[in-house]
């Protein structure tokens, strides 16, 4: 394990260089996963933050509403948040799996030219983490902007609307990065086991 | 020819099973999320139209229960007066009254253009024998106490000019039910029945048994000054009407307090759902760049274009249906109280509206743009 980590660190500059070249060469193809991850993260952040506002309003109304009604609304908002969270994660997983599977032939070429499995593995995981990070950060910023605008329209004061919900930032951006890496990990794990010829002939 | 293309398109989709499955999963998940959030938001938003709240009369321990048609009541923001959104027959009203031992009265409300510039609220009650009008209505109509008020059919003497402080902005005419029915041209119709009772539970049982109606009250209320909610539906119930009244009442409070928050959640999900779907569709074109290049090189671009459109259409329609089913299933399992077919259908139509722009921006335009490039450019794979 330590050897793998050492190997990864020593290869890191070259991995970044390769990833950078790949992104430069396939700009549109790279933008789509990042855009999807950003859209998913935006959704997760905005919904989590807004459902918290809804819950806070329900707490204020607890004297007016019956307990069962307040519970019904709170339950619905929790479901909305949970569904969005799951869908956001699954969309990220789907797009990363597609992104990896569509590059199987590239893996075949790398293997045929003698690049080791560990390096190929590191290449793809690094790229997935990078996509997740960039998409996550962009999504959180856009989500924060959306939540601020909606809260202002709803009558929240500027100072409290501007304050980012740090826990939601962590959840949304962390989810994007982790899910992106894990979703890429699974197909790569399968692909690196293929021989060069199998990878080159693989039809996605 | 189309049948042949259709067969090839299906075969193509099946041949690249993993790719098809992943694209469909991306599309369906987005649609399911959009449907779920929209239905929940719409359920709370649309509930307001059917809400009515009644404050229990605390004098002598008598409670008043209002029996309404299925569409319930709405608060007219212009007049500040509650009006029924529809009426029901006087025969049913009599049956409801009978269930309570005839302890109550029938009411018909509506708007009458009158002679004034602003419409007047007509409030007909079966327990009233004389005509009473509010000060603003008297001013608008130019009548005084004891004077004759000209109505459509004959005229009546105004017995009283009432002080109605909370309705000062609007004119109200309170008159016998039969007269109100004539004036509003709604013969044998009532807006609601008001029942007086000292035993809420017994009344609920009697109503349920005798007129096969649904009746809900706020079970948690113990404070006599807090609202008691009554809601009775006339006739056979549709599934959509089974949303609990408590939840509908919540909608009223929710919209007052949370105003547009849930609506915003729905709009955000709608917009982002489309972006997620579009991104899934565009990626499927990028994945097939080389394939397009090969076909363009052998000169069958137009056929490929047609085939690709057909494949996309099948995929989009199939994924939309799967997504709608998944969304409906989630609603049924997670929020059965909000599972209403009419709201689901309304949201589904909204989601189906995605299809034309999806086909145009996610398939037609990008495929056309790709096929305009040289085969060499496409085969190189760079973007």
* A53 with B254: Cβ contact below 8 A: no
Could you tell me the pLDDT band of residue B238, with boundaries at 50, 70 and 90? very low
Minimum mean pLDDT among B121-125, B267-271, B316-320: which range? Answer: B267-271
Which of A119-133, B143-157, B169-183, B206-220 is most confident? A119-133
Q: Per mean pLDDT, which range of B8-12, B98-102, B199-203, B226-230 is the poorest?
A: B226-230
What pLDDT does B206 receive?
66
- Rounded to a whole number of angstroms, the distance from the CA of A171 to the nearest CA of chain B is 18
What is the mean pLDDT of the segment spanning B119-135? 81
3-state secondary structure A110-123: HHHCCCCHHHHHHH
Please give the helix or strand (H or E) that residue A184 lies within, else none.
helix A166-191
pLDDT of residue B347: 85
Residues in chain B, total = 383
* Res B246: pLDDT: 43
pTM of structure: 0.61
pLDDT attached to residue B319: 92
Tell me the residues of chain B between 124 and 153 that have a Cβ less than 8 Å away from chain A: none
**pLDDT tens by residue, B305-351:** 888 888 889 989 999 999 999 999 998 888 776 777 777 888 898 88
Record the tokens describing residue B71, joined without a space: 């569409």
Mean pLDDT highest for which of B6-10, B54-58, B109-113?
Answer: B6-10
Interatomic CA distance for residues B203 and B209, integer angstroms: 10
pLDDT below 50 — which residues of chain A?
A: 63-66
Q: Least CA distance to A27: which residue of chain B? A: B383
Chain Cα centroid distance, residue A98:
14
Burial of B60 (0-12, 13-18, 19+ CB in 10 A): exposed
Whether A47 sits inside 8 A of B18 (CB atoms) is no
Q: How many CB atoms lie within 10 A of CB B160?
A: 14
State the average pLDDT over residues B78-86.
61
Rounded distance, CA B26 to CA A52, Å? Answer: 27
Contact across the interface for A39 and B276, Cβ inside 8 Å: yes
Contact B276 A36 (CB under 8 A): yes
| Per-residue pLDDT tens over the stretch B21-44 | 888 888 898 889 888 888 887 766
Instruction: Name which of B12, B223, B265 to mutate to probe chain A: the one with the most chain A Cβ atoms within 10 A of its Cβ.
Output: B265
Q: What is the share, in percent, of chain B residues with pLDDT greater than 90?
A: 4
Q: How far is A170 from chain B (nearest CA, A)?
A: 20
- 3-class SS at A166? helix
Beta pairing, strands B81-84 & B172-176 = unpaired
Instruction: In whole angstroms, give the CA distance from residue B174 to residue B176.
Output: 7
What residues of B are in contact with residue A67 (Cβ under 8 Å)?
220
Q: Provide the pLDDT for residue B317.
A: 92
Determine whether the interchain pair B22/A97 forms a contact, defined as Cβ–Cβ distance below 8 Å: yes
CB contact under 8 A, B19 and A65: no
pLDDT at B242 over 60: no
- How high is the pLDDT of residue A204? 64
Ranking A175-189, B143-157, B254-268 by mean pLDDT, the lowest is: B254-268
pLDDT of residue B218: 37
Question: In the prediction, which pLDDT does B241 show?
Answer: 33
Check if B19 contacts A (Cβ < 8 Å).
yes
Quick check: B261 and A50 CB within 8 A? yes
Look at residue A138 in the predicted model and tell me its pLDDT: 94
Q: What is the pLDDT of residues A102-149, one digit of tens each?
A: 888 888 888 888 888 888 888 888 888 888 899 999 999 999 998 888
């Amino acid at each position: 394990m330590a050897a793998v980590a050492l190997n990864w660190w020593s290869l890191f500059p070259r991995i970044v260089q390769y990833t950078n070249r790949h992104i430069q060469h396939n700009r549109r193809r790279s933008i789509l996963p990042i855009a999807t991850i950003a859209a998913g993260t935006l959704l997760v952040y905005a919904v989590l933050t807004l459902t918290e506002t809804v819950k806070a309003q329900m707490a204020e109304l607890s004297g007016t509403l019956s307990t069962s009604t307040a519970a019904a609304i709170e339950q619905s908002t929790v479901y909305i948040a949970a569904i969005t969270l799951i869908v956001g994660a699954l969309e990220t997983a789907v797009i990363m799996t597609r992104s990896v599977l569509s590059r199987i032939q590239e893996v075949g070429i790398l293997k045929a030219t003698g690049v080791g499995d560990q390096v190929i593995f590191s290449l793809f995981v690094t790229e997935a983490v990078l996509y997740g990070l960039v998409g996550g950060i962009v999504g959180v910023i856009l989500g924060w902007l959306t939540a601020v605008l909606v809260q202002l329209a709803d009558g929240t004061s500027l100072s409290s609307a501007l304050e980012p919900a740090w826990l939601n930032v962590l959840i949304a951006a962390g989810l994007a990065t982790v899910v992106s890496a894990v979703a890429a990990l699974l197909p790569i794990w399968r692909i690196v086991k293929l021989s060069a010829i199998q990878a080159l002939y693989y039809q996605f | 020819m189309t049948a042949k293309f259709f067969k090839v398109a299906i075969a193509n989709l099946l041949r690249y099973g993993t790719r098809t499955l992943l694209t469909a999963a991306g599309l369906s998940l987005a649609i399911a999320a959009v449907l779920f959030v929209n239905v929940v938001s719409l359920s709370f938003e649309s509930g307001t139209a059917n809400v009515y709240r009644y404050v229990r009369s605390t004098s002598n321990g008598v409670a008043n229960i209002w029996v309404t048609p299925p569409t319930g009541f709405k608060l007219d923001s212009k007049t500040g007066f509650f009006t029924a959104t529809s009426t029901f027959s006087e025969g049913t009203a009599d049956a409801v009254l009978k269930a309570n031992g005839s302890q109550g009265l029938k009411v018909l409300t509506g708007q009458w253009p009158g002679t004034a510039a602003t419409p007047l609220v007509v409030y007909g009650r079966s327990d009233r024998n004389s005509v009473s009008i509010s000060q603003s209505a008297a001013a608008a109509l130019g009548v005084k106490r004891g004077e004759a008020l000209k109505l459509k059919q004959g005229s009546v003497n105004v017995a009283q000019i009432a002080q109605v402080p909370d309705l000062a902005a609007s004119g109200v005419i309170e008159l016998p039910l039969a007269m109100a029915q004539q004036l509003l041209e709604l013969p044998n119709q009532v807006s609601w029945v008001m029942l007086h009772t000292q035993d809420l539970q017994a009344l609920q049982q009697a109503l349920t048994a005798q007129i096969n109606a649904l009746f809900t009250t706020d079970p948690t209320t113990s404070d006599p000054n807090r609202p008691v909610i009554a809601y009775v539906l006339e006739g056979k119930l549709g599934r959509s009407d089974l949303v609990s009244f408590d939840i509908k009442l919540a909608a009223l409070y929710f919209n007052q307090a949370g105003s547009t928050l849930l609506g915003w959640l729905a709009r955000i999900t709608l917009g982002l759902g489309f972006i997620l779907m579009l991104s899934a569709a565009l990626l499927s074109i990028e994945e097939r760049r080389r394939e397009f290049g090969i076909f363009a090189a052998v000169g069958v671009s137009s056929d490929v274009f047609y085939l690709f459109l057909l494949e996309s259409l099948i995929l989009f329609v199939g994924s939309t249906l799967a997504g709608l089913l998944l969304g409906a299933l989630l609603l049924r399992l997670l929020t059965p109280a909000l599972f209403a077919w009419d709201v689901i259908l309304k949201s589904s139509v909204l989601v189906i509206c995605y299809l034309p722009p999806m086909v145009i921006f996610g398939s037609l335009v990008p495929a056309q743009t790709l096929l305009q490039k040289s085969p060499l450019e496409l085969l190189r794979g760079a973007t």
